[in-house]
Amino acid sequence: MKFLHLVWGNLMRKKLRTALTLLSIVVAFLLFGFLSAIKEALTGGVSIAGANRLIVRHKVSIIQLLPYSYKARMERLPGVALVTHQTWFGGIYQDPKNFFMQCPVDPESFLAMFPEFLLPPAQKAAWLQTRTGAIVGRKTAERFGWKVGDRVPIVSTIWAQPDGSRRWTFDIVGIFDGREKNTDTTPLFFRYDYFDEVREQGHSWDRGQVGWYTIRVSDPAQAGAVAKAVDAEFENSSAETKTEPEGAFVQAWVNQVGNIALITASILGAVFFTILLVAGNTMSQSVRERIGELGVLKAIGFTNGQVLAMVLLESCVLALLGGGLGLGLAWLATSHGDPTGGYLPMFFLPPRDLLVGLGFSLVLGVVTGVLPALQAMRLRVAEALRRM
Amino acid sequence: MNGTTGGDGVLVAVEGVEKVFHRGSEDIHVLKDLHLTVPAGQFLALMGPSGSGKSTLLNLIGGLDRPTQGTVHVAGERVDQLSDHRLASWRARHIGFVFQLYNLMPVLTAERNVELPLLLTPLSKAERRRHVEAALAMVGLSARAKHFPRTLSGGEQQRVGIARGIVTDPTLLLCDEPTGDLDRKSGDEILDLLQALNREHGKTIIMVTHDPHASARASRTVYLNKGQLSSAPVN
């Protein structure tokens, strides 16, 4: 610690050069933070998916509907503890860019299935009593300034009213929060019985059908057997099913975007390689410029090890400072949540990635400093003093 | 005075030293069968023309380099056989260096420069501060303690260099052309200071110089020419 002022003084020797190097490290770690947040937004659903939940969808495609009657048949299968369903509503609030998910659901089984959605009991009771009632996540409520008691018009791109209008009006009866930080609190859920009643009034061809089912299994170890049993139950029917763990289902959605982990790693790899060269060059130059001074330090008694440690400390301080600043800025920038208006509802920088980033910055410091530090360590004193 | 001497009061004993530098296929014999003893408390001036090997000899005595042949004893220790690591610790304990171009750290203030050798000791921050203040007071620079080298004159920078050299109370002070980069007035002030350190504080000093005016301040002068010592200049 008592050498810290010397380390700091050396970093401040060429302020502009240090500032530019620092800036490049800050930008690299800011990018790291943003990419981590995007990755979390796209893949976070996989990590929070329930291990005891299965998704049952149409074997052909997720956009094909399944009969509502399947619910009762699945409930009778051994190992099935609970069944609920959702249907994609595809609604727009005021403007197409105001994207968020809406689904008609069965309130009781839905809330029992997804305990990560926290709804006050009074609001749950109000939902059960209001046919046109809807609950909305905190993020979307705050985004549009909705509060309990508001009537909200949503235009569906898929489902029409009996009169042909696509405008649906819901009464906001509850606002739910997420149990975990990465619980998605952007969707709006409304009652399936109201939804199906409207479809029935309109003699819609798809009444009595739902988008997909979620099953809770009694024993997660038996999830595979239950999935097989479900698919076997509906084999050779007009709507065969494909049952898979919730995590795999979410992953399949994510994979439509691409291999997020590979894309992120590739971008960061290129960025960090460049930073390695920039910071490494700064450190090498800095050591070359003060070979005489390093000779003086050795002459007055600094050991080779102390000189090595001092140069390494210098590069580590630079990298940690840049990394810390970049990650801090990234954290600040991502703390406001989804910047896309609803496409990345779980956009945030996880604390795990903050720590990984700090680890990276330390590694960057060591890697960029090790060669100049070895060069400084190997200096012959008498030779170095001649270069003062 | 800090340090130990041989039984006969000799602080530095250089015996049969040769130093050969290899430049390509050529061997350059800088020092040849050189013998020198310096008693404790002496102020020795080492004179000679450029390239005569003065600085090389100073480096060997200060443990900055090793002889090709021969032995160097300082304060009872055979320094030519110490490992790099032990040599560094030995230098920190026994040797103070004063360089021609001051060799201060431009990024540190005068007091921080003087403190540098003390960072290698187990002294507390308060103790280090006391030592630094005493050394700066001794060279008459207390008022300039917070100044960076670039804001000091050449003479002041050299005084900071001397304060850094004596702050650990070393056994031996080695000065390589300490007035070589200064005007006459500043040079005289530095020589006054070295003389006072020798006479009043009993510091053993070996000073390399070209300048007869500077060597006149020493208690003994030896001349180095073509790698060999003599007590009188060789024409």
All residues of chain A having their beta carbon less than 8 Å from the beta carbon of residue B148 are none
Query: For residues B146 and A44, is the Cβ–Cβ distance under 8 A?
Result: no
Torsion of CA B80, B84, B88, B94, to 10 degrees: -10
Strand partners, A55: A214, A244
| Pair (A249, A283) in one structural domain | no
Give the residue numbers spanning the domain of A99: 50-255
At B7 the pLDDT is 57
DSSP A128-144: HH-TTEEEEEHHHHHHH
The answer to whether residue B192 scores a pLDDT higher than 90 is yes
Is ipTM > 0.85 here? yes
**How far apart (Å, rounded) are the C-alpha atoms in residues A154 and A144?**
13
Q: Which of A13, A300, A382 is nearest residue B59 as measured by Cβ atoms? A: A382
Chain A hits for B93, Cβ within 8 Å: 301
Same domain, yes or no, for A91 and A192?
Answer: yes
Phi and psi at B103, nearest 5°, equal 50, 45
Number of folded domains that form chain A: 2
pLDDT in tens, A153-190: 999 999 988 888 999 999 999 999 999 877 889 999 99
Nearest chain A alpha carbon to B57: A382
CA distance B138 to chain A (A): 20
Comparing alpha-carbon positions, the chain B residue that sits nearest to A15 is: B107
Query: How many residues are there in chain B?
Result: 235
pLDDT tens-place string over residues B23-70:
888 999 999 999 999 999 999 999 998 888 999 999 999 999 999 999
Phi, psi of B124 (to 5 degrees): -75, 170
A336 touches chain B (CB under 8 A): no
Distance CA B128, CA B131 (A): 5
| B11, pLDDT greater than 50 | yes
- Residue A339 is predicted with a pLDDT of 74
| Residue A127 and residue A235 share a domain | yes
Domain termination site, one of A215, A231, A255: A255
Give the model confidence (pLDDT) of A305-319 as tens digits.
Answer: 999 999 999 999 999
Facing residue for A382 by CB, picked from B65, B106, B117 = B65
Q: Which residues of B touch A304 (CB under 8 A)?
A: 84-85, 88
Same domain? A271 vs A245: no
Under 8 Å between Cβ of A276 and A25:
no
User: Cα separation of B152 and B156, whole Å?
Assistant: 6
Q: Does A303 touch chain B (CB under 8 A)?
A: yes
> Alpha-carbon distance A100 to A94, whole Å?
12
Q: What's the pLDDT score for residue B3?
A: 46
pLDDT at B234 (0 to 100): 66
- A226 plus A285 within the same structural domain: no
Write down all domains in chain B, each with its CATH number in brackets.
Answer: 10-230 (3.40.50.300)
The pLDDT, as a whole number, for residue A245 is 86
Contacts of A249 (CB under 8 A, 6+ apart): A49, A55, A57
Choose among B107, B200, B113: nearest CA to B164.
Answer: B113
Q: What is the mean pLDDT of residues A227-235?
A: 95
A4 touches chain B (CB under 8 A): no
Q: Are residues A60 and A205 in the same domain?
A: yes
Verify that A118 and A163 share a domain, yes or no.
yes
Whether B64 sits inside 8 A of A385 (CB atoms) is: yes
Interface contact flag, B99 A388, Cβ < 8 Å: yes
Whether residue A96 sits in one domain with residue A26 = no
In this structure, the answer to whether residues A241 and A303 fall within a common structural domain is: no
**Separation CA A111–CA A107 (nearest Å):** 6
The model carries a pTM of 0.71
Indicate yes or no: CB of A6 within 8 angstroms of CB of B85. Answer: no
Residues A77 and A19 in one domain: no
Last residue of a domain, one of A203, A229, A255: A255
Looking at the structure, tell me whether residues A57 and A126 fall in a common domain: yes
Between vectors from CA B16 to CA B11 and to CA B21, what angle results, nearest 5°?
Answer: 110
Q: Kindly determine whether residue A304 and residue B88, on different chains, have CB atoms separated by under 8 Å.
A: yes
pLDDT band at A44 (very low <50, low <70, confident <90, very high): low
Domain boundary among A215, A240, A255: A255
- Regarding whether A125 and A161 lie in a shared domain, the answer is yes
Residue A85 to residue A106: CA distance in whole angstroms:
7
3-class secondary structure, B44 = strand
